Amino acid sequence: MFKGRSLPGSQCTNDSDMFNGQYLSGSQCTNDSDMFNGQSLPESQCTNDSDMFNDQSLPGSQCTNDSDMFNGRSLPGSQCTNDSDMFNGRSLPGSRCTNDSDMFNGQSLPGSQCTNDSDMFNGRSLPGSQCTNDSDMFNGSQCTNDSDKFKGQSFLGPQRTNDSDMFNGRSLPWSQCTNDSDMFNGQSLPGSQCTNDSDMFNGRSLPVSQCTNDSDMFNGRSLPGSQCTNDSDMFNGRSLPGSQRTNDSDMFNGRSLPGSQGTNDSDMFNGRSLPGSQRTNDSDMFNGRSLPGSQCTNDSDMFKGQSHTGSQCTNDSDMFNVEPEGTAPRMVKVPQLPQDGLK
């Protein structure tokens, strides 16, 4: 994955080429798993069913299949009418996304008729959207059911204490997220008391969070004090040596490690699942820029920032976090636990 631009000389022609920035016409990324986190230009000819867009889908991009995902606006001309259409931005009234898997990462406008139980919102849910079922995800709309998911802060009012409450921001001390599926995409503050076996963190896990059970997920760094050693420990940062990720529900927000036997139906990838690709060399994902000299040759080298030319990333779990916007990217060095301390 590329969070910047894909330069014309990158020759990205395989089906796992991912772009988190703009897709330039010279990069030749035309296969069905090409993902775009920026704009899809009309000449990109993204017509396959896994084409994903993290920004605007222009009318000329011809993304009409049922898995087309948009992280920006869905324009009326994109014809996203099937039940897997996902939107990370606004759903305009003309997009006709009415099925039960329509997902929205922005606002749900009253005309979008997203009323089924899988409607997910990463932004605000307006009163007209009638999102009342147990999988509705809101950023503060008083969703108190057991699958309420939040991408922002959890405030005192919604009483988000059920076992599937998910937070993509910070969990404030008073949110009382103590159940087993509490997920955090930001930092877990010491007062949030998220100690159960499915606590997920997309930021850093502070030592006090005591994430020791088998579903602890980290999208950032796993600090030495967090003791995440079981078989479903998920890391979007480094993969610690002793975590033994071999079960079929091991989820990686980058790739499937060689030892995980990534052939089962629960293996989930935060890029795409290739059709029978054996998940080995093809899942190198870059969340920053991959410079030509980065020497990233193994199948799980992941970068959340920039890969510098001298980084020599040859091990399969080298992962780098991106710095906040406006700061110079750096390689994140995550301390590794001693082998004898892991189970």
For residue 333, the number of C-alpha atoms closer than 13 Å in the C-beta half-sphere is 1
**Three-state secondary structure call for residue 319:** strand
- pLDDT number for residue 332: 30
209 and 195 Cβ atoms separated by less than 8 Å:
yes
- pLDDT number for residue 109: 33
Shared domain for 258 and 299, answered yes or no, is yes
- pLDDT number for residue 244: 32
Shared domain for 217 and 299, answered yes or no, is no
**Domain count across the chain:** 2
Residue where a domain stops, chosen among 188, 213, 228: 228
- pLDDT number for residue 86: 34
Structural domain includes residue 191: yes
Which residues does the chain have with pLDDT short of 70?
A: 1-343
Structural domain includes residue 234: no
- pLDDT number for residue 152: 29
Shared domain for 224 and 268, answered yes or no, is no
- pLDDT number for residue 324: 29
Structural domain includes residue 95: no
Structural domain includes residue 236: no
Structural domain includes residue 274: yes
pLDDT in tens, 16-38: 333 333 333 333 333 323 333 33
- pLDDT number for residue 309: 35
Residues whose CB falls within 8 Å of the CB of residue 326, separated by 6 or more in sequence, listed in order: none
The two structure tokens encoding residue 31: 């296969």
Q: Which domain holds residue 168?
A: 148-228
- pLDDT number for residue 21: 31
Q: What is the pTM of this model?
A: 0.12
CA distances from 85 to 18, 54, 104 (A): 19, 13, 9
199 and 218 Cβ atoms separated by less than 8 Å:
no
Q: Which is nearest to 6 in space by CA: 47, 326, 17?
A: 17
